[in-house]
């Protein structure tokens, strides 16, 4: 195992600090960003890093989130390693350009600090912003704690810049629950990141000293081919991210799972499925229920929402009798987004399974393991 940290020390960082410090280690040439709660401290830290000379490049302070993503697009097509961060309404304001970056296959990275969408006006966590861009052509990774947020940022750049993937990616962290809460972090060293993350080698660039023009109109058959190629690359990302996760675990001793992380019993009566910071509470639930109940409990956490870990989830369809899916968002007029995706996996394999969805923790509502225990027990009683 390598010495990955700075003198093996431990930092007390918020999630935003952990993300910013990881981004600094990747040496982005351009950060284009506009502040919005609760992602603003990431932007402030990176602005300071450029000012202090910790990063060689340029911080572009723009007038809006739309301009932030436009600046990131310009930097990426010029061949620069590029980063931005935003949240909630800021993501929606840049939505047009988020799609341009995604469908344009531009390898940049973003931290999305998950926050409820308005109205009602809220600055606390929900996952509606994450789901709003699920079809924008971006890889979507989700951290469960501050340490993983730090580690995932490095994965994000490496995955996006791989030539068999070559598309933008975002790391999602829960607003305030992770972004503003301090926790112990073992920081990665500059040497480790330099070894783990190769220099960016763009597949193509636009050069103002050698200008070209091209017609952007795409005919129907070509348009379909573009999307098929994008889908193939998204599927490539599944194996490549799995390989990176295993490599990272071997080098550091920190194993977060691959596209998914399982906990507790690997087979049994009830499996609880979740994403984000809630998943750590679910682990407490699994431990407590396995101590006091005769039933056997396990959990599954998604680390990636796009690409969706369909095959990995299908492998567990025969291992539990009941699946409880916890989500931080509604899909108005339908089931919650995560429940819909999970049911789709099971329909292809085991449509007879008992799958129950519950939406909790929206708009920053407190979610602790005791509440989840009560919820799980009530569901079990209702389904007996």
Contact 259, 246 (CB under 8 A): no
**DSSP string across 336-383:** -HHHHHHHHHHHTT-TTSEEEEEE--GGG----HHHHHHHHHHHHHHH
| 234 and 335 part of one domain | no
Q: What is the mean pLDDT of each run of 10 residues along the chain (384 residues)?
A: 60 98 98 98 98 96 98 96 98 98 97 97 97 98 98 98 98 98 98 98 90 81 95 98 98 97 97 98 98 97 98 94 97 96 82 87 94 97 85
| 110 and 75 part of one domain | yes
**Tokens 């993300």 correspond to what residue?**
19
Within a domain: 207:
no
**Rounded Cα distance, 43 and 65, in Å:** 12
Which of 232, 252, 272 lies at the terminal end of a domain, its last residue? 252
- Give residues with Cβ within 8 angstroms of 39, minimum separation 6: 16, 85, 86, 87, 90, 111, 112, 113, 179
| 175 and 266 part of one domain | no
**Rounded Cα distance, 333 and 146, in Å:** 34
pTM, two decimals, is 0.96
Report the number of distinct structural domains present in the chain: 2
| 133 and 240 part of one domain | yes
| 248 and 269 part of one domain | no
Within a domain: 56:
yes
pLDDT of 216: 75
Cα four-point dihedral sign 265, 271, 277, 281: negative
Q: What is the CA radius of gyration of the chain?
A: 21
Q: What is the 3-state secondary structure (H, E, C) of 144-201?
A: CCHHHHHHHHHHHHHHHHCCCCCCCEEEEEECCCCCCCEEEECCCCHHHHHHHCCCCC
Per DSSP, the chain holds a count of helices (H) and strands (E) of 13, 14
**Rounded Cα distance, 72 and 60, in Å:** 9
| 272 and 185 part of one domain | no
Q: Is 51 helix (H, G, I), strand (E, B) or coil?
A: helix
Residue numbers of the domain that contains 108: 11-199+215-252
pLDDT of 4: 56
pLDDT of 350: 62
pLDDT of 276: 98
Q: What is the CATH number of the domain that holds 134?
A: 3.40.50.970
Q: Is 15 helix (H, G, I), strand (E, B) or coil?
A: helix
Within a domain: 95:
yes
Cα four-point dihedral sign 60, 62, 66, 70: negative
pLDDT of 1: 44
Within a domain: 113:
yes
**Rounded Cα distance, 216 and 201, in Å:** 24
pLDDT of 72: 98
Angle at which helices 278-292 and 369-383 cross, to 10°: 60
Q: What is the CATH number of the domain that holds 305?
A: 3.40.50.920
């Amino acid at each position: 195992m390598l010495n990955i940290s700075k003198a093996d020390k431990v930092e007390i960082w918020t999630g935003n600090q952990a993300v910013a410090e990881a981004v600094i280690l990747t040496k982005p040439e351009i950060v284009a960003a506009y502040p919005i709660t609760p992602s603003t401290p990431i932007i402030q830290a990176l602005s300071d890093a450029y000012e202090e000379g910790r990063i060689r490049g340029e911080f572009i302070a723009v007038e809006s989130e739309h301009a932030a993503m436009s600046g990131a697009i310009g930097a990426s097509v010029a061949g620069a390693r590029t980063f931005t961060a935003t949240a909630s309404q800021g993501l929606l304001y840049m939505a047009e350009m988020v799609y341009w970056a995604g469908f344009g296959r531009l390898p940049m990275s973003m931290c999305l600090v998950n926050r409820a969408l308005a109205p009602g006006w809220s600055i606390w966590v929900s996952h509606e912003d994450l789901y709003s861009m699920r079809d924008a052509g971006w890889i979507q990774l989700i951290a469960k704690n501050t340490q993983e947020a730090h580690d995932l940022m490095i994965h994000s750049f490496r995955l996006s810049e791989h030539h068999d993937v070559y598309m933008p990616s975002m790391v999602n962290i829960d607003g305030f629950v992770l972004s503003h809460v301090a926790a112990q972090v073992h920081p990665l060293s500059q040497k480790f990141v330099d070894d783990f993350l190769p220099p960016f080698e763009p597949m193509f660039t636009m050069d103002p000293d050698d200008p070209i023009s091209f017609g952007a109109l795409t005919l129907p058959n070509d348009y379909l081919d573009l999307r098929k190629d994008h889908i193939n690359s998204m599927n490539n990302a599944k194996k490549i991210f799995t390989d990176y996760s295993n490599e990272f675990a071997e080098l550091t001793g920190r194993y977060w799972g691959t596209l998914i992380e399982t906990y507790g019993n690997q087979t049994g009566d009830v499996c609880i499925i979740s994403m984000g910071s809630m998943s750590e509470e679910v682990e407490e639930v699994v431990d407590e229920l396995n101590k006091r109940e005769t039933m056997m409990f396990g959990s599954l956490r998604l680390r990636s929402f796009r690409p969706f870990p369909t095959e990995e989830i299908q492998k567990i369809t025969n291992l539990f009798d009941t699946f409880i899916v916890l989500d931080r968002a509604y899909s108005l007029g339908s089931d919650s987004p995560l429940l819909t995706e999970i049911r789709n996996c099971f329909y292809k394999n085991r449509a007879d399974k008992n799958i129950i969805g519950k939406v909790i923790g929206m708009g920053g509502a407190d979610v602790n393991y005791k509440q989840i225990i009560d919820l799980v027990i009530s569901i079990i009683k209702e389904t007996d």
